[in-house]
Amino acid sequence: MLKIEKLAGIDIGSNAIRLLLVNVITEQNNNQPPSFKKSALVRVPIRLGADTFLSGKISEENKIRMVKAMEAFKLLMEVHGVKKYKACATSAMREASNGNEVAKEIFEKTSVKIDIIDGKKEAKIIFGTDLSTVITVKNTYLYVDVGGGSTEITLFSKGKIINSKSFKIGTVRLLDDHKEFKNIWKSMELWVKENTKNLKRISVIGSGGNINKIFKISGKPIGKPLYLSYIKNQLEFLSNLTYEERITQLDLNPDRADVIIPATKIYLSIMEWSGANKIFVPKIGLADGIVKELYYEK
């Protein structure tokens, strides 16, 4: 007999806010692990990073939009019969001077509680997702999650985490060519090179909306990697298109068409620094990890 329960994860990022609805299916009297089936994904393009990384705080306009988004998400969860949910906010709310104040106001108006998590917690949640479709225990991988405000890098070998670090380099930040990013970029380069210098046959696992879109454009089946040469060519191809052409020719959302270039630069650079020749894209993210953490907490 099957048991089906619906869970939800809310990912409040720097470039958008996402609600993921998942059916968790377990077979009673069976020791097999549960199956997590995506029911629906709703993405709202609220770019909090454009506020935080420029002015240091979330604007009144985006605060109002967030309240409305959480009200809508709450209604969607009710009509879908969601049993439990969790909402997590990352770098944009974490660094905003009024981040906690905004989270408190949203809770008072919508009853949606937002956990503002740090980079290590974010990486841990994402890493808790199912990577079995792309990894083998004997190999070494760099798990790279590129968001709007930060890049989380986790090195793991033989199925165990060796080291992990969060860098304040993200796609929305890089749209503003600030001098301080050069220093952070250099520190990220040094970290990757130092942590991979004695390792061979490294592959990258890419996470984030931009690498998912690049993978979709490639037409490759899930489980097959993209190679360094393809990422290089894709960066050149994207850079030669105007913002408008990226929307019309590649069917990109307006809030994806600008950040996809800095995102591709980050993935490509990390591949080159580490000597990785391929990148796997399992199409997982923070919302997926939130749902799995929520399920196993009980």
pLDDT at 242: 97
The listed CATH number (3.40.50.300, 3.40.30.10, 3.30.420.150, 3.40.50.410) that belongs to domain 131-281: 3.30.420.150
Mean pLDDT of the chain: 91
Name the nearest CA neighbour of 75 among 45, 111, 48. 111
pLDDT at 182: 86
Residue 57 has pLDDT above 80, yes or no: yes
Contacts with 219 (C-beta within 8 Å, 6 or more apart), sequence order: none
pLDDT exceeding 70 applies to what percent of the chain?
96
Architecture of the domain whose range is 2-119+287-297 = 2-Layer Sandwich (3.30)
- Domain ranges (residues) in the chain: 2-119+287-297, 131-281
The residues facing 2 across adjacent strands are: 27
Residue in the structure block whose two tokens are 């740090």:
118
Lowest mean pLDDT among 8-22, 38-52, 154-168, 236-250: 154-168
pLDDT tens-place string over residues 268-285 = 999 999 999 999 998 888
pLDDT at 178: 64
Q: How confident is the model at residue 180 (pLDDT cuts 50, 70, 90)?
A: confident
Name the nearest CA neighbour of 269 among 187, 199, 209. 187
- Angle in degrees, 0-180, between the axes of helices 209-218 and 228-239, rounded to the nearest 10: 100
Q: Which amino acid is at 291?
A: V
pLDDT tens-place string over residues 203-248 = 999 988 999 999 999 999 988 999 999 999 999 999 999 999 999 9
Q: In whole angstroms, what separates CA 147 from the centre of its chain?
A: 5
Greatest mean pLDDT range, 139-143, 145-149, 229-233: 229-233
pLDDT at 212: 93
Instruction: Please indicate whether the domains covering 2-119+287-297 and 131-281 agree at the CATH topology level.
Output: yes
The whole-angstrom separation of Cα 200 and Cα 140 is 8
pLDDT tens-place string over residues 88-140 = 999 999 999 999 999 999 999 999 999 999 888 887 787 776 665 566 767 89
Residue 179 has pLDDT above 80, yes or no: no
pLDDT at 133: 59
pTM of the model: 0.86
